[in-house]
């Protein structure tokens, strides 16, 4: 919001400005009132408002003298003179100083004053928008491969720079997400900077969810980042994390720091609870090979050894968190997901799991619980002690249940026995025929999808059916209720 300050030695006029004028209705914030030119100069240097409204004649430093000093320090400031004197010599000198207007004090109670202030505010906003667009275009060029030659001409001061990254799930887990990622759009940032733009130089979008924010040296980047996060969460339900890459630095130093530390924005997955964080001080070096841990983990799962499995997962989790490497974390999370899926006992994710996917430590804890559940399933596995043909048949069904054309001939051919032999073996050892196994697995997966409140019309193609009516009949025969009834009951349980 545009900010204004008053400089006038008339106490009654100052009280009128403070208590009667509706500044907010004009889109202006009154930030200071002083009673003489010298105090006004000191407050201006401290507050740096965009508008200064000053009396012309005051004891000590006059309004005209104050305006000259302001013009030398901040020529973009709008100055509005008020006076009891309709003297052309004052008006002429004020205009020569580039005044935004000259208002007689008896006019401040009417429309002329309000209209003049609104006009000044709009002119300032237009100038600020044009300047910001110019700076944003130049900053994008500086941060790209085009180079930063001559950047000091556009950015001559010292600045702070933030790289902001909105809350997002770990990239390796995005393929498992059923939701569309929300993004803080330009509308949110435009509104935020309109209300809190006094410290902003410019803001540019670098990639989806990542922006570079260049701040004035006078702005506190940590406070700014925390305020941005608070508003993003309050208004959009999205957290916004910030990497502080530069502070009180020249533009070339800011640009270099941004390029060198851009990948450090991913540290937010490792800095639990931190809204603002610093880049890595140095490269942590090689993180080591985890193939031995993965082998130990797989052997523990196959042997149903809970303690050894948990110890291996804890060791892997510690290495991933200590590495602060998004690539190393993603590599190991991907390996664990592949291992989990290889057992075919359950879907990788269940309803509500996505809330665990935004921090490295929480992701690893979530995976540990998935493997603990897996081990319980393996211990209760009805085919664990079955013959090899039966185990291979069940594994084939689990891998191919989404294929609507799968037949008992396909399964038996994969296993290497005749359809009749397979039917007898599976019925004898598990109590279910191959096609009953297929239906059972399809129904369990369908229930998981319905638990996520997925539409029935979206569920049946995902579990190997091509006809909705046939799927609904099969579901009711297997589960005792229709898919719609099951989903409604599941939703009611969530509300309890």
User: What pLDDT, in 10s, does the model give residues 33-69?
Assistant: 998 999 999 999 888 888 999 988 888 888 888 988 9
| One domain, residues 210 and 322 | no
Q: For residue 226, is pLDDT > 80? A: yes
Q: How confident is the model at residue 18 (pLDDT cuts 50, 70, 90)?
A: confident
User: What pLDDT, in 10s, does the model give residues 439-486?
Assistant: 989 998 999 898 888 899 999 999 999 999 999 999 999 889 999 999
Does residue 145 sit within a domain? no
| One domain, residues 355 and 454 | no
Q: With contact defined as beta carbons under 8 Å apart, do 60 and 36 qualify?
A: yes
Q: Which of 351, 379, 407 is the last residue of a domain?
A: 379
Distance CA 415, CA 421 (A): 11
| One domain, residues 346 and 304 | yes
| One domain, residues 95 and 165 | no
| One domain, residues 43 and 67 | yes
Q: For residue 107, is pLDDT > 70? A: yes
Chain mean pLDDT for the chain: 85
What CATH number should be reported for the domain holding residue 8?
A: 3.40.50.2300
Does residue 286 sit within a domain? no
What confidence score (pLDDT) does residue 169 get?
86
Q: With contact defined as beta carbons under 8 Å apart, do 104 and 77 qualify?
A: no
What CATH number should be reported for the domain holding residue 265?
A: 3.30.70.270
Does residue 160 sit within a domain? yes
Collapsing DSSP states into helix, strand and coil, what is residue 81? strand
Does residue 139 sit within a domain? no
| One domain, residues 370 and 402 | no
Task: Please tell me the total count of domains within the chain.
Answer: 4
| One domain, residues 396 and 375 | no
Q: For residue 146, is pLDDT > 80? A: no
Does residue 282 sit within a domain? no
Q: Which of 232, 248, 277 is the last residue of a domain?
A: 277
Q: What is the pTM of this model?
A: 0.59
Q: For residue 246, is pLDDT > 60? A: yes
Report residue 37 as tokens. 């030119």
> Which element (helix H / strand E) includes 248?
strand 240-249
| One domain, residues 16 and 122 | yes
Q: Which residues contact 38 (CB under 8 A, 6 or more apart)?
A: 60, 61
Name which of 386, 469, 401, 473 is nearest 435 in CA terms: 401
DSSP lists the bridge partners of residue 213 as: 162, 203
Phi and psi, residue 321, nearest 5°: -70, -40
What CATH number should be reported for the domain holding residue 416?
A: 1.10.10.60
Opening angle at CA 253, ends 215 and 325, nearest 5:
90
Residue with the larger pLDDT of the pair 182 and 490? 490
> Which element (helix H / strand E) includes 334?
helix 326-342
| One domain, residues 114 and 15 | yes
| One domain, residues 264 and 301 | no
Does residue 363 sit within a domain? yes
Does residue 131 sit within a domain? no
DSSP label at 278? P
Does residue 296 sit within a domain? yes
| One domain, residues 364 and 329 | yes
Name which of 397, 136, 423, 167 is nearest 273 in CA terms: 167
Q: How confident is the model at residue 21 (pLDDT cuts 50, 70, 90)?
A: confident
| One domain, residues 302 and 357 | yes
Domain that holds residue 307: 291-379
Q: How confident is the model at residue 25 (pLDDT cuts 50, 70, 90)?
A: confident
């Amino acid at each position: 919001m545009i900010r204004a300050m008053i400089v006038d030695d008339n106490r009654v006029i100052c009280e009128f400005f403070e208590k009667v004028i509706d500044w907010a209705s004009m889109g202006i914030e009154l930030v200071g009132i002083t009673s003489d030119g010298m105090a006004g100069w000191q407050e201006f240097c401290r507050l740096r408002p965009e508008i200064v409204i000053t009396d012309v004649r005051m004891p000590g430093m006059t309004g005209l003298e104050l305006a000259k000093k302001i013009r030398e320090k901040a020529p973009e400031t709008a100055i509005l003179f008020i006076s009891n004197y309709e003297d052309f010599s004052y008006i002429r000198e004020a205009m020569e100083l580039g005044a935004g207007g000259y208002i007689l004090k008896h006019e401040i109670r009417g429309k002329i004053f309000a209209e003049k202030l609104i006009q000044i505010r709009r002119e300032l906003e237009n100038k600020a928008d044009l300047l910001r667009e110019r700076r944003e275009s130049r900053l994008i060029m500086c941060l790209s491969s085009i180079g930063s030659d001559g950047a000091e001409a556009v950015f001559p001061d010292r600045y702070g720079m933030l790289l902001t990254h909105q809350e997002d799930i770990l990239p390796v887990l995005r393929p498992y997400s059923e939701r569309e990622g929300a993004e803080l759009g330009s509308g949110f940032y435009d509104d935020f900077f309109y209300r809190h733009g006094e410290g902003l130089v410019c803001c540019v979008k670098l990639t989806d969810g990542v922006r570079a924010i260049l701040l004035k040296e006078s702005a506190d980047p940590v406070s700014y980042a925390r305020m941005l996060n608070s508003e993003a969460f309050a208004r959009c339900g999205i957290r916004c994390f910030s990497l502080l890459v530069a502070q009180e630095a020249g533009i070339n130093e800011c640009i270099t720091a941004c390029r060198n530390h851009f990948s450090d924005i991913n540290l937010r997955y490792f800095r639990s609870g931190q809204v603002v964080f610093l880049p890595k001080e140095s490269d942590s070096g090689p993180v080591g090979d985890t193939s031995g841990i993965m082998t130990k983990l797989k052997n523990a799962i196959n042997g149903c050894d809970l303690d050894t499995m948990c110890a291996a997962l804890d060791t892997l989790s510690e290495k991933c968190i200590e590495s602060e490497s998004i690539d190393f974390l993603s590599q190991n999370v991907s390996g664990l997901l592949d291992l989990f899926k290889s057992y075919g006992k359950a879907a990788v994710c269940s309803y509500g799991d996505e809330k665990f996917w935004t921090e490295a430590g929480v992701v690893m804890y979530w995976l540990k619980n998935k493997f603990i559940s897996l081990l319980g399933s393996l211990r209760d596995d009805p085919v664990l002690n079955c013959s090899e043909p039966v185990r291979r048949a069940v594994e084939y069904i689990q891998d191919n249940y989404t294929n609507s054309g799968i037949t008992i001939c396909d399964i038996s051919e994969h296993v290497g026995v005749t359809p009749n032999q397979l039917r007898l073996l599976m019925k004898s050892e598990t109590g279910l025929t191959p096609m009953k196994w297929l239906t059972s697995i399809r129904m369990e997966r369908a229930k998981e999808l319905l638990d996520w409140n997925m539409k029935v019309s979206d569920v049946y193609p995902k579990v190997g059916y091509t006809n909705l009516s046939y799927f609904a009949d099969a579901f009711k025969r297997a589960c005792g209720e229709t898919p719609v009834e099951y989903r409604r009951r599941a939703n009611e349980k969530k509300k309890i």
